[in-house]
Amino acid sequence: MTAPEVLVVGAGPHALTAACYLLAADPSLAGRIAVADPRPWLSAWDARFAALELASLRSACVHHPHPRPYALVEWAERVGRREQFSGPLSAPAAGVFADFCRVLVDASDLAAARLPQQVRALHPRDDGRVDVQLTDGALVAGAVVLATGGARPHAPVTGGRHSEAVDLSVVRPGDDVVVVGGGLTAAHLALRAAARGADVVLLTRAPLRPRIMDVEAGWLGADLPDFFVQPPADRARLVRDARPGTVPEPVCAALHDHPRVRLAVADVLRAVPGGVELTDGRTLDADHVWLGTGYSHDVRTDPLTAGLLAEAPVEVVAGLPVLAPDLSWGGTSVFLSGGRTALGIGPAARSLAGARMAAERYTAALTGVEPGRRQYPVPDVLTGAGR
């Protein structure tokens, strides 16, 4: 293929956000953006929602891939689906969000832009471009937006099955299920197993914490200027402390009220045949042990970023790279989106809001078009003044 001006790596919500922001800022990029992913657009996202039987997003209705905050709501109103939003944030149902994303893909002919290949390596060049090694061949890109999650399942309990691999269909009435974790994924697993007639114990390290969003709203605005001026080690600590497992209040209430769900605060040592062993010496019976314990982002363990790190070294703190304010990697034309940008974006980096926050940064750098009005605070170095 002709060398793309920008190669977007990934085909999930962060990648779609990248394509939508870039094309909105510079329509002449149409036909000059390529997207590399072996799977169709949003297929991994859709599969996860289906596997966990998630009916709704946790994000507010203004957090989606289109640059205009209310584009999703406006589209839903036009097609008669405005009622498919709920709660104080007007969180969209999974189906209406997925269909809106498909509309965005079709509107910019992004299905044709997708290369059904995996990126194996990125090699920054002296001329500012990037050599890209694919599963079948190679290409040269003017710039790369790395918008894959790059996350590894965090499995602190040996012998359990991480949520990424859970199959709810195996549960039978009367089964004993132990779910480990204090966040929304663990809560959903517990409730879905109970709905199938299982007796469920949800093990958390601390009492459940009710919260509407996965991070406090201040991390989308008010708390960011102070965050940006902290040294990297302090930013890493703030990111970690800002993301304890939390669950929306209605889900908390459902867990407390469900007759087949028991909540327990305990530390799990390991899964053993027929159950789990706790650190206090007790053993709980279990036909299934599931881990809703999230993911870790470490550029040193992901082959793609580990290779990039070897060729273009950057400081790494708690597994996270110290990027330039525009989210470029070490003076190269590789830009990042997702959880690995947390030191530059803040605790919301991995979320849909974080995808938008990142897109504002690298879009301005790649197109030279500054947003008319930034929706999110940025470091002073990008503006010349605090926001």
Closest among 112, 108, 95, 88 to 40, alpha carbons compared: 112
Query: Which pLDDT value is given to residue 196?
Result: 97
pLDDT band at 384 (very low <50, low <70, confident <90, very high): low
Domain with 274 in it: what CATH number? 3.50.50.60
pLDDT over 90 (residue 150): no
pLDDT band at 385 (very low <50, low <70, confident <90, very high): very low
Query: Is there a single domain that holds both residue 35 and residue 132?
Result: yes
Q: Based on the structure, what is the number of domains in the chain? A: 2
Residue 128 belongs to some domain of the structure = yes
Query: Is there a single domain that holds both residue 129 and residue 69?
Result: yes
Query: Is there a single domain that holds both residue 54 and residue 96?
Result: yes
Residue 144 belongs to some domain of the structure = yes
CB environment 44-53: b (16+ within 10 A), e (fewer): bbbeebeebe
User: pLDDT tens, 273-285?
Assistant: 999 999 999 999 9
Amino acid present at 60: A
**Helix, strand, coil in percent for the chain, rounding step 5:** 35, 20, 45
pLDDT over 50 (residue 201): yes
| Domain range enclosing 368 | 6-152+296-383
pLDDT over 70 (residue 371): yes
Average pLDDT over residues 251-264: 96
Residue 231 belongs to some domain of the structure = no
Query: Is there a single domain that holds both residue 63 and residue 100?
Result: yes
CA-CA distance, 298 to 306, in Å (whole number)?
Answer: 9
Query: Is there a single domain that holds both residue 279 and residue 318?
Result: no
Whether 218 contacts 211, CB under 8 Å: no
For residue 37, the 8-state DSSP code is: -
User: pLDDT tens, 166-193?
Assistant: 999 999 999 999 999 999 999 999 999 9
pLDDT over 80 (residue 387): no
Closest among 87, 136, 316, 288 to 202, alpha carbons compared: 288
Residue 16 belongs to some domain of the structure = yes
CA-CA distance, 177 to 62, in Å (whole number)?
Answer: 36
Query: Is there a single domain that holds both residue 173 and residue 65?
Result: no
Residue that terminates a domain, selected from 293, 328, 357: 293
Residue that terminates a domain, selected from 258, 275, 293: 293
Residue 233 belongs to some domain of the structure = no
Whether 37 contacts 114, CB under 8 Å: yes
Query: Is there a single domain that holds both residue 107 and residue 182?
Result: no
Q: How far is CA 37 from the centre of its chain?
A: 16
CA-CA distance, 304 to 208, in Å (whole number)?
Answer: 36
Report the mean per-residue pLDDT for the chain.
94
Query: Is there a single domain that holds both residue 305 and residue 320?
Result: yes
Query: Is there a single domain that holds both residue 19 and residue 130?
Result: yes
Residue that terminates a domain, selected from 293, 324, 349: 293
Query: Is there a single domain that holds both residue 175 and residue 276?
Result: yes
- This prediction has a pTM of 0.95
Share of the chain above pLDDT 70, in %: 98
Q: Among 11-15, 199-203, 209-213, 316-320, which is the least confidently predicted range? A: 209-213
Q: How far is CA 5 from the centre of its chain?
A: 25
Residue 139 belongs to some domain of the structure = yes
For residue 173, the 8-state DSSP code is: T
Closest among 223, 212, 173, 225 to 195, alpha carbons compared: 173
Query: Is there a single domain that holds both residue 327 and residue 338?
Result: yes
Residue 232 belongs to some domain of the structure = no
Q: In a 10 Å sphere around its CB, with 0-12 CB exposed, 13-18 middle and 19+ buried, how is residue 159 labelled?
A: middle
User: pLDDT tens, 218-243?
Assistant: 999 999 999 999 999 999 999 999 98
User: pLDDT tens, 53-105?
Assistant: 999 999 999 999 999 999 999 999 999 999 999 999 999 999 999 999 999 99
Query: Is there a single domain that holds both residue 87 and residue 187?
Result: no
**For the chain, how far is it from start to end, CA to CA, in angstroms?**
42
**With helix as H, strand as E and coil as C, how does 155-167 read?**
CCCECCEEHHHCC
Query: Which pLDDT value is given to residue 1?
Result: 56
Closest among 173, 237, 230, 170 to 199, alpha carbons compared: 173
Residue 230 belongs to some domain of the structure = no
Query: Which pLDDT value is given to residue 112?
Result: 96
Whether 363 contacts 335, CB under 8 Å: no
